[in-house]
Amino acid sequence: MTKTLIASLALLAAQPVLADVIVFQGARLIDGSGKAPLENAVIVVDGGRIAAVGPARKVQIPEGARQIDLKGRTVMPGIINAHGHVGLVAGGKNSADAYTRENVLAQLAQYEQYGVTAVLTLGLNRDLVYDVRDEQRRGALGGASLFTAGRGIGVPDGAPPVPVAPDQVYRPKTVEEAIADVRETASHHPDFLKLWVDDVYGKFPKMQPAIFHAAIEEAHKNGVKVASHVFYLEDAKELVRDGVDALAHSVRDQAVDAALIDQMKQRGTFYVSTFTVDESAFRFADEPALLDDPFLAGALAPEVIQQFRSAEYRQKVAADPNLPKIRSALANGMHNLKALHDAGVHIAFGTDSGANPARIAGWAEHRELEMMVAAGLKPMQAIVAATRGSAQMLGAADRGTLEKGKRADFLVLAGNPLDDIRNTRKLVAIWHGGREVKPRVPPAAGATASAPR
Ligand SMILES: [Zn+2]
C-alpha cells in the first residue's frame, strides 16, 4: 500500500457519518407540482435523493450534515427535455459521421450544464446510445440522464430529411418490414419508439397510415411507448386514434378542434410543442441581437455564431420558399398549445434541440420556456410541463418534482422565474442526483443577458 493511499483511507475514516447528507436552506421552492412556491424552504438530500423537504419550521436538520445557504435563491426541478437529439451535429454542421460516443457524451454534458438534467433522444441514434444509457444508469457516466428512442421509423426517401448513416433510422417499405423494425428496436429496451409522419411542407411522400398503425400496435405489444413527429391536424387525429402516446411537435397546419382535444384527454396522450423547431428556421436572421447573449455564446463555437451573423445566412433564410409557411406554422402552434393546455390535455416539454446547428442544446430549452409563456401559459404552467409533465410522459416516477423520495435533480437560480420566465437562465448551480454541476454560463455573465423582444 502506498503512503498516499494510506493517507486517503485515513481521511475517509475521519469523515463525519453524515458526509453524504446535504441540507439546502432558505430558498424559494418551486417543486414542479404546480402548487404555490414555498418560501424559506429546507431540502435535505441523502445519497442523491430528497430525504425531506418543506418549510424551515417543519423539517428537522440532521446533525453533522453539510449545509448550503440558498437565501435569496429560487430552486426548481431540473428541466426534462422530452424531445432532443444527440450526435447529429459536429463542428457546427449536420453530418452522417457525427454520431460518436465522444460527441454524444459532450452533448449530454452541455445539456446538463444548462440545467437540462434529463433528455429523451427521440430517434436517429446509433445503437451505441444504449451502451451509453446503460453505463450512465450504473453511475459510470455523467451528463444529462439519457432516455432514448433508438433509431426510429421514417419513410423511404422521406422524413426525416437529416443526413445520417443507414444504421441511425429505419425506413420500412411495407407493414411487415415496419413490424420487424419495431421488434428489433424493442429488443434494445428503448424508452420510446419514434415515428415520423410528415411530408415536410409537401416535399416528400408521407408515411402510410397502415405503417404507423402497425408500428404503434407492435410497439405496444412489446411494452414500448410511441412518440410521433407530426405537423397536420388530420395526421394527429389518426395517430391519437391509433393510440400514440405522445405528439412530439405542435399541430401546425390549423387550429386544433374538439375532436382532437377529446381524444387526447380520453387517451391521456401527451403533447410536446417544440416551438424552437419552427423559429430556428428564421429567428437569428430576424433578431441578430439574440446572438449577443452570453448565455447563447456558451453553447456555440464562435465560428458558428459568426456564421449566423453573416449576410449569407440572412440571404439563405430570406430565400427559403417555405419561410412564410414556417412563420404561420409557428403562430398556429402557439395558438394550439394554449388551447390544448386550457382544455386539460397533458403537456410535456421538448425542443428538438441537437437536430441541426440552429437548434442549440441547452439554450433552446430556456428559449422554449419563454415561448410557451409568450403562447399564453403562465410561467408556473410552463415549468410544470418541463418538469412533472415530461417526467410523466417518460414514465420516470423518480423525478420531475421535488418531493420526498425523488431524485435530487434541481436548479438553483439567481432570479424568480415566476416573475420572468427568462430567470431560468440565471443558473447558479445545477444539482443532478445530488451531485453539483457548474453552469456552462454563470449568472455573473448571463444574469442581465435576457433576450431582447
Ligand atoms: Zn426531433
Give CATH 3.20.20.140 domain extents, the chain.
Answer: 79-394
pLDDT for position 449 = 42
CA of 171 to the centre of ligand 1 (A): 16
CA of 397 to the centre of ligand 1 (A): 24
Give CATH 2.30.40.10 domain extents, the chain.
Answer: 3-77+402-446
- The four Cα atoms 104, 106, 108, 112 give a dihedral, to 10 degrees, of 180
What pLDDT digit, counting tens, does each position of 218-270 carry?
Answer: 999 999 999 999 999 999 999 999 999 999 999 999 999 999 999 999 999 99
pTM over 0.85: yes
pLDDT for position 313 = 96
Q: Which residues surround ligand 1, an ion (CB under 5 A)?
A: 352, 355
* Secondary structure element (H or E) that encloses residue 247, with its range: strand 246-247
- Count Cβ atoms below 10 Å from residue 16 Cβ, excluding itself: 11
CA of 201 to the centre of ligand 1 (A): 16
Q: Up-side HSE of residue 76: CA atoms within 13 Å toward CB?
A: 35
- The four Cα atoms 358, 313, 294, 74 give a dihedral, to 10 degrees, of -40
CA of 67 to the centre of ligand 1 (A): 41
Place of cell 459510470: 140
- Count Cβ atoms below 10 Å from residue 57 Cβ, excluding itself: 7
| 8 A C-beta contact, residue 27 and residue 412 | yes
pLDDT for position 444 = 67
The rounded distance, in Å, linking the Cα atoms of 110 and 60 is: 36
Architecture of domain 3-77+402-446: Roll (2.30)
pLDDT for position 272 = 98
Q: What class, spelled out in words, does domain 79-394 have in CATH?
A: alpha beta
Query: Which segments in the chain show pLDDT lower than 50?
Result: 1-2, 10, 12-17, 445-453
pLDDT for position 14 = 46
89 DSSP assignment: E
Pick from 50, 42, 41, 119: which is nearest to 79 by CA?
119
Pick from 24, 35, 111: which is nearest to 74 by CA?
24
